[in-house]
Each structure stands twice: as structure tokens, then as C-alpha cells.
Amino acid sequence: MEIFRAHVLVCGGTGCTSGGSPRIKALLEEELAKNGLEKEVNLVVTGCHGLCEMGPLVIVYPEGTMYVHVQPEDVSDIVSEHLLKGRIVERLLYKEPVTAERVPHYGDLPFYHKQERLVLRNCGYINPEVIEEYIGRDGYAALAKALAEMTPDEVIQEVLDAGLRGRGGAGFPTGLKWNFCRKAKGEPKYIVCNGDEGDPGAFMDRSILEGDPHRVLEGMAIGAYAIGASKAVIYVRAEYPLAVRRLHLAVKKAEEMGLLGDNILGTDFSLHIDIKEGAGAFVCGEETALLASIMGQRGMPWPRPPFPAVSGLWGKPTNINNVETWANIPDIILRGADWFASMGTEKCKGTKVFALTGNVQNTGLVEVPMGISMREIIYDIGGGVPNGKKFKAVQIGGPSGGCLPESQLDLGVDYESLTGAGAIMGSGGLVVMDEDTCIVDVARFFLSFTRAESCGKCTPCREGIMRMLEILDRISAGEGRMEDLDLLEKTAHIIQDTSLCGLGQTAPNPILSTLRYFRDEYVAHIKDQRCPAGVCTALLTYYIKPELCRGCTACTKVCPTGAITGERKAVHVIDPEKCIKCGACAERCPFDAIVQA
Amino acid sequence: MPLKMVELTIDGRQVSVPEGTTILEAAESLGIEIPTLCHDRDLIVAGACRLCVVEVEQIKKNLPAACAQPVGAGMVVHTNNPRVREARRTVLELIIANHPLDCLTCEENGKCKLQKYCYEYGVQDSPYEGETREYEIDDSNPFIERDMTKCILCGKCVRVCAEIQGVNAIDFINRGFDTKIGTFYDGELIDSPCLYCGQCIYMCPVGALAAIPSRGLGRDYDVEKVATTCPYCGVGCQLALNVRNDRIVGVTNIADSHNQGYLCVKGRFGYEFVHSPDRLTKPLIKRNGKFEQASWDEALDLVAEKLGAIKAEYGPDAIAGLTSAKCTNEENYLFQKFVRAVIGTNNIDHCARL
């Protein structure tokens, strides 16, 4: 075995890859060779660290120094200063936004302080394309334990005792689900990994699949053993090419090592995993639509019963779990139910990975114990709202979730509390919004998403979402009526009550939660004809303050519609009929004379 | 194995039904009608229109669809309380927000299920305004008119085409609000694998699909339905001739029959010969190189005389009989009996053997 004095980890997650990390890696390779260090320093491409905002990331061990926003021109400094002379390159360290202090060590970053990284334990630490690195971190030990020391029933009992609940959003107890499928009659049985992550802004499943694919495969193998399944399918978005490539590689490597395929680890247990790429329909995240899609049909849900556990893929008993759920399994088996259940709340055990995005300092992927408050996630981990703006709301659970205000921030995050507040855990998207966000516009955004992504099968979802979106459009255009709010509420409740699948049943949540917490803002749009956040262009007017205008004519030059008139050195005027509210004049005016009203 | 029975309460009445029965079927057994647009007893349950929602006290989350929800022991079901009626009314309002209210000229008027339920639920207009789906009518073929502007996307046409006929000429295309039923690449029906059995017309609960030869000739309530056997083949499908003023204006299904109502293009659309001016209704005898009308007695005497003469001169094996699949079993039996016993030859065959 080769011994290295230092390891340089280059993030190969999608964020850092698109930020240029492959180039950084190539330059590091060159630079190390130039300095004769290739035998002393090990260069590793890892999965995602979660702090995507700061990418491309390079981490140097044994010190654990994290370099952020690394550019090609920084590579020679990292090699000559850090690796040759042992001097940290200060300017590349993370800068704490409030104190402006540089933080040299990965572990000292406030972003990681309150995190409990279990599922993401290996992400950013190992090379996901090398199975030995996963094995070196106790990988496949849980599978060996399950096969050698546990009966299938004992495995299910362990998962039940751990209290693990489905991480795809609905929070159904995983062990119970496995038991249904184990007890169902029919051969062969299938297990499916749902990697059709579709919520805008959510990327936890992608990061797990890219950063630690073997963890998911191991979880599936343990599940298949417990359920009595011999076939498995991973349904993954085709828009995740890196995840798809690494999954194919991981399955191949695991089969070569006897960890998947026939007679796993020399036992009678066999499992064959196929990878099916989804074609980009949000609704295929719904279990029955997903199964229809695997079978080559249009991705449309079917009514349950029959439940997939009884009649799923090709009419056989099928168990479907989300990527993150499968990724939790190895640790539960290896370290025990008690260990897992010691984290989280009474009803929700373990951790949850959230994708933190929007108006927050540290966007990225965070894994926290269940029950942590949203305030801790947004402020302590996320670093709060940037640019001195005020926090307004957080959308949790994607387009099926709800929009929660400041008053709900101390809520402990678990399935029940979020549902009670009008949101849902969902897959774990957290979009933070500041004061410049218009709440009607937010609801419109999510509704326009579900309008386009509804499969079109059932009436309430197909027709109802469109009608609610049209009402929102009307309000945003200043043509709303007060009765519209009642109609919105009534329609939303009936869509929840009557839709066929989870997509329609939850699609009204953004409307209901914003009406619940931000009704005033809707009323302002309708009664006062005013968009308090200054977003809805139809409700804006630009005018020139005569006392500030110097008649410099700068605004007339940028106005695309010729709406501004006035002689040089005389006060200018905007014709509201011609103005398209693009705001170009206000940006251009050197005297801040042009304002919104 | 005896069926396990499940007891439940529907609208305050106790009922005991076999396990696996849906709420819709259980209610039917009590004579309680639940409105449906996408349900048909012959098709796999879709749960698409959501008009059949009911309230089940044990199901707190939402209003389940009666067509898809199996009964459970001790269930207390309300099929017609204010919450259910409100939900159904909203579903109807959502549908008609996107459905032309042109009942005055619609072929389906009087038979339309959407019209019937709007009447029953007092839905005259929709509170929803906005975009509507409008498409050009497809009457590219001689039989089936597809007016997708009227389509309510219940999917019954898609299912009958796939599940019963096995043709798969049409399916859902696009997504969300833009969903429509279309052929491969959304072309015209004439370029599709459609066999024009017309089963989709029969399934369509509204006027989106109509029989082109019947257009404007009378609605369901204008016609007399005359049950008969299809004359085309030995399957002998039962069908209902829709008759108005002594003319056949269309053919509809008789569901309660050995063919369960299902027909092929011939049975459904091949009736125009009945009123054809070219059709022979009297025997003709060729005299001096010209066909002349004759009486049945004259014609039969002539045939008997000629057959007798051939038999006498050349023997019975000089004669052969060929019968038709268009005849009934009884007619075919009689004909072979005639050829064998009267003519005295075994030279008898049938076109279906070819």
C-alpha cells in the first residue's frame, strides 16, 4: 500500500464541476508532477461537501484545510506554499461573513457546526468511483453483518426499532413498508430506489448518488435481503448524468467483488440492480407513476389499492424507497437501532438532509438531526439572510410544501410539526426568501410549476391548478377581486380533498400557507393596488422626483420605449402609458431621482 | 372458497358485500347512484374524473373516489352530504370551465352525462374564467368525428381502445392543463391504426366523439332502438339499430349481450346498404339478355327447374353449394341439408373456410 504524506481532495460534485473543478484537478496534477510530489501527495476527486456556494472546493489533509472559490491561477500557490512550504494560503480560506475572519479548518466552519452528517458522511471525503475507499469507511460491513448474523425478520425489526421514516416526503415508517412487501405473495419481488428528485432547488439525492453511490447500493441489498427481493431498479433522473455514470460504475464494481449479483458474499442471496433513467417528469416521483414509467408506460399514477407492495412492478410485490432512505440503512444495521433512535425527536428519528437555497449566505446541502429548529438551520448553519435584508419567509418541501413566516422559525423540524404549520417535509428543499420577495409571486412560481408538471389525469389537479394560477395572475396584474381570495381558498381545499395522487393533494399548499400567513399582502395587491415587495410590474409606476432631477438626459438614453421626455437641464417626465417598468432608468439615474411607487 | 363478506354503512343503511367490492358497487347494490364520468364496469379503474368522491368517516385525509376505494369492515360512508356535493359541484365547475356549452347543437344532448350531472347539481355556469383548450375538429375519416374541444379527458376512449380492442390508436399526450387525447404524433385519425370499431364513441360520456354518418339525423331520444343480430358474420353480435322515420340512422351497443355490446366497424357503420337505391329487393330473371322483375314464385320455380334438369342430366355431383358467413347458423344448416338431402351431393362449402 502506498503511503502519502498529504491528500488533496478536489470536489467533483455537480456544483463544483460546473464551477471548473475538473480543470483545477488537471492543473493540480500537472503542478504536483512538476514539483515531483506525485508520490507524496494523493489527489482525490470526491463527492459534494454541501457548501456549493463556495465552490470549487479543495481540501488538504492531514490539516483539513479548506480552500474555497479555487481558480486555476490559485493552483500553483496551493502546491508551492501549502504542500511544499507548509504555509496555508490565507486568501483562499473561507471568510466568516459577519466577523470577516478567515477559517482555516474544514471542521471549524460554522456551516458544519450544527450538522450531523450521517448519510453525507462520505460525501466529499472519499472518491466515489473507488469501491475500496467506501469499504475502507466500513462500507458493505452492514451487508455482511445482515447476511451472516441476521435473519430477514431481524433486519426488518432493526429498521422498525430505529424508527426510520421515508425520506421522500411522506414519512411512512420504512420497516412497516418492508414488512408489507415481505408478506405479500408473488415472485419475484422487486425493490426500487426512487431517485427522481424533482423539487426545484432540491439536490440531496443527486449528491448522495454522486458522492457515495455504494451506500445506496448497500442499503438496497440489505433491504432486498429483508424483503426477499431478487431484482432491483434504480430510477434516476436522466438530468443527473454524473449520478447515472457513477451508479453504473458502482454496480459494476460491486458485482465484480461479489457484493451484488449472484450469491452475494458467498451466500444464497442474489440481487440484480438495473438502472432506469427517467425522462424528466416531476410526477414520476410518485410511486405508481414511477412504476408505470419503468414499465414503459406514460408516467401517470394509478389509484391505490392495489398498493405497490401487493402489485407493483410487472404486477409483482414491489417496495419503493427514496435514495436518502436507502442511504440510512447501512448505518442502522451496523451501529444498531438504539444508536439511530438516539437522534431526533420522539416520532422522528435520525437526521434529514436539506437543500438550503435562496436568500441565505451559505447555500448548500446540510444534514441535521430531526427536531432542530428552522432558525438554527437558516441562521446558525446558513449564516442568515445576506446583504442586510430582512428575512421574510421560507418555503419548505418544494412545490408541494408551504411558505412559513418568521413566527414559525422556532418550529422543530419533523414531519408532524411541518404538516401542522401548513408545509410538508417533502424531499427537504428549503428556499429562504428576503423582504424583496413578493408572496403572490412566490405562490405563482410554484403553481406554474405544478400546472406544467401535473400529469393531466385527474380533473382537480389538471383543471384546478390552472384556475388557481389564473386567479394569482389576475391578482398580480392588479385585476384581483376580494372574492378571488375565497374562491382560491375553496378551490385549494377541494383540490386537496379530491385529487388522485400526492401531486394534486399537495399542490395547493403554497397558496393555502401564503394565504394563512401573508393574507395582508394579497389584500394589498387587490385593494391598494400595491405590491409591497415591488415585484409585480403591473402594480408599479416609476416617476421622477422633480426636486432631484438635473435634466442630465441619461434616463432618456436607456429607456427602450421612449417613455421619458424632457429638455436638457430641465426636469424630465415619464409617460406611464409608454413605460414598460423595466427599471433601466432608475438604475441609470446618477441622482436617484427615479423611484418606484 | 366462499367469499369473505364485509359489512358497512352507506348513507345510514347497512350493507354486506364481498371483500374487494368498491364503494361504488356496494352503493349500487343498495340502489344508491353515485355520479361517474370515467368509470365503466368493463374497464380497469382509472380514478380520473373524481366526480364519484364520497366521505368515509374512517378516512380523514381526503375524499376517496368510490370507484377505486374498496369497502372496509365498519366503514361509514356518506355519498351525498354537503361536503361531498360541494366537492362534486366544484369538479363539475372545473370541467365546464373548459367545455363548450353548446348543448343546443350537440349530438350528445339528452344522453350527455356531464349535462345530466350539471342539471342534478345545479351547475349552470363556472366561477372559473380563463384559458380554454380549443382544437380543430378531426373528421378526416368517414366514421369517427373527434372534437377534442369538448373532451373532458376521462380517458375511457383510451382505455377501451387499449384494454378491450387492443388497438392502442390513441393515448394521452402532453402534460398538465395541456393534456389531450391524440394519435401517434397527434396526427389525424385516418393516419392512425384505428379500426373504426366506434367503441370509443360509445364510451365517450360527452359529445367529443361522434358517429359521422349519424350527424344531424337525430339524437338518442329521437330514435327507436331496434335490437337485432349483425348480418355480417357468424359471431352474431347483438346491436341496436337506431331508427327514425323508418330509416336506420345509427347503431348503438346492447351491453347485455353475448358480445357485451362490442362491435366491429361492419356492425357499427356498415348499415348504409339497407337504404341503398341499388339494393335488390325483388328477384330478377334475365329474359332476352335483360333483367326483368319477377315474383318469388316465378324465380324459385325457375331455379328448381334448372337445378332439377342439371341433376337429371349430369347427376347430383355436378352441383355444388357455397354458403355465406353473412347467414345465420340456422340458415347455413338448412342450406347444407338442402344440398345433401335434396340435391344429393356432399359438394357443400362455406366462405369462412377459404
Q: pLDDT per residue over A162-194, tens digit each?
A: 999 999 888 899 999 999 999 999 999 999 999
Q: pLDDT per residue over A423-472, tens digit each?
A: 888 888 999 999 999 999 999 999 999 999 999 999 999 999 999 999 99
Beta-carbon contacts below 8 Å between A and B = 113
For residue B29, the enclosing domain spans 5-80
Residue of B nearest to A458 (CA): B48
Residue of B nearest to A447 (CA): B176
Is residue B72 included in any domain, yes or no? yes
For residues A336 and A536, the answer to whether their CB atoms sit within 8 Å is no
Partners of residue A451 in chain B, C-beta under 8 Å: 176-177
* pLDDT > 70 fraction of chain A, expressed in percent and rounded: 100
**Residue B12 belongs to domain with CATH number:** 3.10.20.740
A89 pLDDT tier (thresholds 50, 70, 90): very high
Query: Number of folded domains in chain B?
Result: 3
Specify the pLDDT at position A1. 61
Is residue B53 included in any domain, yes or no? yes
Q: Which three cell numbers stand for residue A572?
A: 424630465
Classify residue A201 by burial, with Cβ atoms within 10 Å: 0-12, 13-18, 19+: middle
Domains, chain A, ordered by start: 6-109 (3.40.30.10), 131-341 (3.40.50.11540), 351-434 (3.10.20.600), 439-526 (1.20.1440.230), 541-596 (3.30.70.20)
Mean pLDDT for A305-318 is: 95
Specify the pLDDT at position B324. 87
- Exposure string of A54-78, with b = 16+ CB inside 10 Å and e = fewer, is bbbbbbbbeeebbbbbbeeebbebb
Specify the pLDDT at position B354. 52
B301 and B270 housed in the same domain? no
DSSP structure class, residue B163: I
Lowest-pLDDT range of A105-114, A249-258, A521-530, A542-551: A105-114
Query: Of B213, B270, B215, nearest to B237 (Cα)?
Result: B270
Specify the pLDDT at position B327. 82
Partner-chain contact A457 B130, CB within 8 Å: no
Q: Which residue bears the cell 358497512?
A: B8
Is residue B270 included in any domain, yes or no? yes
Specify the pLDDT at position B353. 65
Partners of residue A490 in chain B, C-beta under 8 Å: 90
What ipTM is given for this predicted complex? 0.89
Specify the pLDDT at position A249. 97
Partner-chain contact B177 A298, CB within 8 Å: no
Last residue of a domain, one of B57, B80, B103: B80
For residues B296 and B283, the answer to whether their CB atoms sit within 8 Å is yes
Specify the pLDDT at position A458. 97
Rg, C-alpha atoms of chain A: 27
pLDDT at A98 over 90: no
Specify the pLDDT at position B59. 94
Is residue B121 included in any domain, yes or no? no
Element (H, E) at A250: helix A241-256
Specify the pLDDT at position A96. 81
Distance CA A86, CA A78 (A): 10
Of residues B53, B65, B179, nearest to A462 (C-beta): B179
Ranges of chain B with pLDDT below 70: 1-2, 353-354
Q: pLDDT per residue over B314-353, tens digit each?
A: 999 999 999 988 888 889 999 999 999 999 999 999 887 6
B263 and B230 housed in the same domain? yes
Tell which of B19, B43, B50 to mutate to test the A interface (max A CBs under 10 Å).
Answer: B50
Partner-chain contact A462 B91, CB within 8 Å: no
Is residue B36 included in any domain, yes or no? yes
For residues A433 and A359, the answer to whether their CB atoms sit within 8 Å is yes
For residues A47 and A212, the answer to whether their CB atoms sit within 8 Å is yes
Last residue of a domain, one of B80, B105, B132: B80
Is residue B302 included in any domain, yes or no? yes
Residue of B nearest to A280 (CA): B175
Element (H, E) at A29: helix A21-34
Of residues A302, A458, A463, nearest to B97 (C-beta): A463
Is residue B245 included in any domain, yes or no? yes
Is residue B268 included in any domain, yes or no? yes
Mean pLDDT for A292-311 is: 94
Specify the pLDDT at position A367. 95
pLDDT at A97 over 80: no
Residue of B nearest to A498 (CA): B63
- Exposure string of A112-122, with b = 16+ CB inside 10 Å and e = fewer, is beebbbbbbbb
**Residue B236 belongs to domain with CATH number:** 2.20.25.90
Partner-chain contact B47 A500, CB within 8 Å: yes
pLDDT at A293 over 80: yes
Specify the pLDDT at position A114. 86
Q: pLDDT per residue over A481-517, tens digit each?
A: 999 999 999 999 999 999 999 999 999 999 999 999 9
B298 and B274 housed in the same domain? no
